[in-house]
Chain A
Amino acid sequence: MNIYLQTLKRDLNVAIRNPSSVLNPLLFFVISVSLFPLAISPEATTLSQIAAGIIWVASMLAVLLSLNSLFHHDFENGVLEQMLISHHSLPLLILSKITAHWLLTGIPIILLSPLLGLFLFLDNEGVKILMLTLLLATPSLSLIGAIGASLIVGIKNSGMLLSLLILPLYIPILIFASSAVSQVSVGLDISAQLYFLATILVVSLMLAPFISALSLKISLE
């Protein structure tokens, strides 16, 4: 088994045996979405118009909440030091950790989204596109988020700093993804939005592990 799979297996084992770190962001996601009908209006027409935006903002904040722990534990216990001096490629090790993060945060959000979409009166076509945008863009959220997480590793109480660093980079994803869902409900073509999300995914996949590796080296020196 190569080091990518070994790191993935290790991170999944650590998360499964410490479920609160995985469940907290998901609970936040479900609770925050379910509060909107109480605060705004329970009417189907109102909720269906803003459903995509609500679910996307909540998923983004849930991912942000989970990013703090991406490198933090390994930094505190010294595993990150061992990764840095290993002869294996550091970007590959980081990519493996990002994959574990996406499997534990992105995939559950994608699986929960149809239920929450129906709860907010989103039509079937809208739910399908919502899932597609989440499938295309949640890996980008994890990849871009890893850059911020590697920059703040070692800084105590850095949640606010992480938000300031990462949220501006998430804005294009939010705009393209939520507009894709709202435009499909009025019968407009959404291929441009999907291409943009795919481009963001490819670019972040190519760059984020390398930038994170560089940031980690600087943070640990």
Chain B
Amino acid sequence: MSVLTFNNLSCQKGYNLLFDDLSLVINSGDILRITGTNGSGKTSLLKILAGLNAQEQGAIHLDDHPVKSEEYQNAVFYLGHLSALSAELSCLENLKYLNALNQPTDEQKLIDALNKIGLQGYEEEYCGRLSAGQKRRVILAGLFVSNAKVWLLDEPFTALDPQGVEIIERCIGEHCKQGGLCLFTTHQDSALKNQKVLAL
């Protein structure tokens, strides 16, 4: 049972105060959909929770571990809105390296993950030759092999077709059923059950 808490978070970009005094408790099994207009601070909030950006004020803990501590960072899987793929490497090479940065995974598990996300036969294809949706699927395949409890996903459904959205929603649902927790930003409606919504 893990609990992600953040208290009195605030974030300022230049002269704009994006959010102020934001507090929330997210328990195991919770799915939090973060919505808001462009520039409202959705990505900034996820980056702060991932330990990439520093908050102006406030505190973030996963159980008793503060953000940027080794225990916290090991428990977090962050997916930004950039592809995180090198065009010169194959899907499998990219996935292998990104997983090595988090936790090393068997090659066969990565191939299975690519199959599950609908990219069977694309293991050796260079990412530079893929469409935007396929690139998104490659990076999202990392979800199937992730041991992290907390998933922070920035616009995970962007460029995906309805079939791809369904696969990812099912994957998020299963992760949270098994005690994980997921925060994601989106501009679309989501069919995920039991989701809570945070509007920025």
Contacts and interface: CB of A to CB of B under 8 A. Distances in A.
B80 interface: yes
Interface stretch (A78-86, A161-169, A170-178): A78-86
A79 B86 contact: yes
Contacts of A78: 80-84
Nearest to A18: B88
B76 interface: yes
A156 interface: no
A87 B74 contact: yes
Contacts of B50: 85
Interface stretch (A6-14, A187-195, A197-205): A6-14
Interface in B15-53: 50-53
Given A77-B82, A77-B84, A79-B84, A10 B73 contact: no
Interface stretch (B1-9, B92-100, B155-163, B181-189): B92-100
Contact of A3 (B53, B76, B88, B100): B100
Nearest to A21: B88
A7 B78 CA distance: 19
B192 interface: no
B101 A3 contact: yes
A221 interface: yes
B102 interface: yes
Interface string A55-84: 000000000000000000110111101111
A85 B76 contact: yes
B89 interface: yes
Nearest to B75: A87
A13 B50 CA distance: 29
Contacts of B54: 221
A169 to B, nearest CB: 29
B88 A82 contact: no
Interface residues of B, number: 27
A86 B52 contact: no
B70 interface: yes
Interface in B84-133: 84-89, 93, 97-98, 100-102, 126
Name the residue among A13, A14, A76, A77 with the largest chain B CB count within 10 angstroms.
A77
A86 B97 contact: no
Looking at A73, A74, A85, A221, the one whose CB has the most chain B CB atoms below 10 A away is: A85
Contacts of B97: 6-7, 10
A88 B73 CA distance: 10
Contacts of A83: 101
B84 A13 contact: no
A221 B53 CA distance: 5
Contact of B78 (A13, A18, A77, A85): A85
B121 to A, nearest CB: 21
Contacts of B53: 221
Contacts of B88: 13-14, 17-18
B80 A81 contact: yes
Among A74, A81, A221, chain B packs the most CB atoms within 10 A around the CB of A81
Contact of A86 (B80, B81, B86, B102): B102
Contacts of B84: 77-79, 81-82
A73 B86 contact: yes
Nearest to B100: A6
10 closest Cβ pairs, A-B complex:
A78-B82, A78-B84, A17-B88, A86-B101, A14-B88, A6-B100, A10-B97, A78-B80, A18-B88, A87-B74
10 contacts: A6-B97, A10-B97, A17-B126, A76-B82, A77-B83, A77-B85, A81-B52, A82-B78, A85-B73, A85-B76
Given A17-B89, A84-B52, A86-B102, 17 more contacts: A7-B97, A10-B97, A13-B89, A76-B82, A77-B83, A77-B84, A79-B86, A81-B52, A81-B82, A81-B84, A82-B78, A82-B98, A82-B101, A86-B101, A87-B70, A221-B52, A221-B53
